[in-house]
Amino acid sequence: MIQRLKSQVMTLGTISVVSLCVVLPFLKYGIPSGHDFEFHFNSWIEVVNHWKQGVWYPHWAALAHYGYGEARFIFYPPLSWTFGAVLGLVLPWKLVCGAYIWIVLTLAGCSMFVLARHWLSRRDAMFAAIVYAVNPYHLLIVYWRSAMAELMAAIYLPLLLLLVLRSEEEGARIVAPLSLLMAAGWLTNLPAAVMMTYSLGLLAVCASLRRRSFRSIVYCSTAAIIGAALAGFYLVPAYHQQTIASISWSRSSPRGSSSQPRLRCFSPAAGVIGRSGGSWRDGASSALCSCSARHFYCGCTCRNCASCNCRGAGCFV
């Protein structure tokens, strides 16, 4: 028991240290001012101000658009801006962005480690977790796009595949955790939630074909419906109140306010790479589903044989 605890602490410590290396340049060069940095950072400040006034679930961002404001918190999923605001309550604002990224990358690496241990040894699973935590697209988000909500959604993808794989063994017991995972996706980032939904559908079909049973489809469909229902306190008002805001106009308008605290930042040059996030994300989802489907058709469930390890590693690549 003690040995197992030590190994888990070592795993968490290693992933944390590697993730910390990603944000160490912030100490010298400042916080990267990516495409969405001002949007997220100003949102965290707005939420903290609302909390201090006794508004626990804010709707209006008063300082957006140079003081004109917008109904930002009605339409933007709450998990990322809530987490950033919580960090803003306990840390200096200059450290909040780095702490956010460090924690999210660490959790993403841990989720990949849990998935990788399904096939690989601890050492190989550790390698897979580190590669996933600091993969090039995550670095692109951190230093170029500053898409904080999308970065948080990276925590859920390995767990999604893991839960679908365990549906063969655990049956209906998988519905509850899978529902919570899908709800977390909707409450974090809507494009990521859509990606998780159609990925879940494809993985469920592959699992059902492999087992020659429709139970996996039933379990995953039920989980998807329950997950959306759990996120209904955000989804229903956001859908119902679309008529009060011109979302297409707000996307093209400037964000932020000159009254916000100024930080020493550096801004990468805008370019095609920064605008291609959606295609990268969809490509990653397609690759994940394709590799997972290949694994389902293999029909080999041995944890120790070399062929299983190769197939498992192929899923991570």
* Chain segment 93-136, per-residue pLDDT in tens: 999 999 999 999 999 999 999 999 988 999 999 999 999 999 99
90 vs 208, residue with greater confidence: 90
| 80-85: average pLDDT | 97
Determine the average pLDDT of the residues in 80-98: 96
Residue labelled with tokens 């291609």:
276
pLDDT at 252: 57
Task: Note every long-range contact of 37-40, with CB atoms under 8 Å and residues 24 or more positions apart, other chains counting.
Answer: 37/97, 37/146, 37/265, 38/255, 38/256, 38/260, 39/255, 39/256, 40/80, 40/81, 40/84, 40/146, 40/148, 40/149
Token pair in block for residue 168? 């063969």
Q: Give the C-alpha separation, 275 to 253, whole Å.
A: 17
Dihedral sign, Cα of residue 18, residue 134, residue 183, residue 253: positive
**pLDDT surpassing 80 at residue 248:** no
User: Among candidates 20, 91, 17, 89, which has minimal Cα distance to 48?
Assistant: 89
What local confidence, expressed as pLDDT, does residue 246 receive? 67
199-216 average pLDDT score: 88
What is the average pLDDT across 276-290? 45
Report the SS3 class of residue 77. Answer: coil
> Average pLDDT, stretch 257-269?
40
User: Across residues 19-38, what is the average pLDDT?
Assistant: 93
The three-state secondary structure class of 261 is coil
CB 309 within 8 A of CB 295: no
| Residue 314: per-residue pLDDT | 42
Q: pTM, whole model, 2 decimals?
A: 0.80
Mean pLDDT, rounded, for 171-200: 95
Angle at which helices 306-316 and 93-116 pack, to 10 degrees?
A: 150
Please report how the helices 215-230 and 232-240 are oriented relative to each other, as an axis angle in degrees rounded to 10.
Answer: 70
Compute the average pLDDT of residues 172-199.
95
Separation of alpha carbons 207 and 310, rounded Å: 19
Mean pLDDT check: name the lowest of 84-88, 142-146, 258-262: 258-262
Q: Which residues pair with 70 in a beta bridge?
A: 61
Mean pLDDT across the stretch 45-67?
Answer: 93
Mean pLDDT within 38-58? 95
Listed residue (154, 160, 162, 155) closest to 118, CA to CA = 162
Q: What is the mean pLDDT of residues 241-257?
A: 61
What single DSSP character describes residue 141? I
pLDDT at 40 over 90: yes
**Confidence (pLDDT) at 154:** 96
Q: What is the mean pLDDT of residues 16-21?
A: 96
- 72 pLDDT exceeds 50? yes
The reported pLDDT for the residue numbered 303 is: 43
For strand 31-32 and strand 265-266, is the pairing parallel, antiparallel, or unpaired? parallel
Residue 301, Cβ neighbours under 10 Å: how many? 10
Mean pLDDT for the stretch of residues 133-141: 96
Find the radius of gyration of the CA atoms of the chain. Answer: 21
- Give the closest residue to 177 by CA, choosing from 188, 166, 187, 169: 166
pLDDT cut 70: percent of the chain above it: 77
Please tell me the predicted confidence (pLDDT) of residue 311. 43
Query: Does 143 score more than 60 pLDDT?
Result: yes
Q: Kindly indicate the confidence band of residue 74, based on its pLDDT and cuts at 50, 70 and 90.
A: very high
Q: Do 120 and 131 meet the contact criterion of CB atoms below 8 Å apart? A: no
What gap in Å lies between CA 228 and CA 236, rounded to an integer? 10
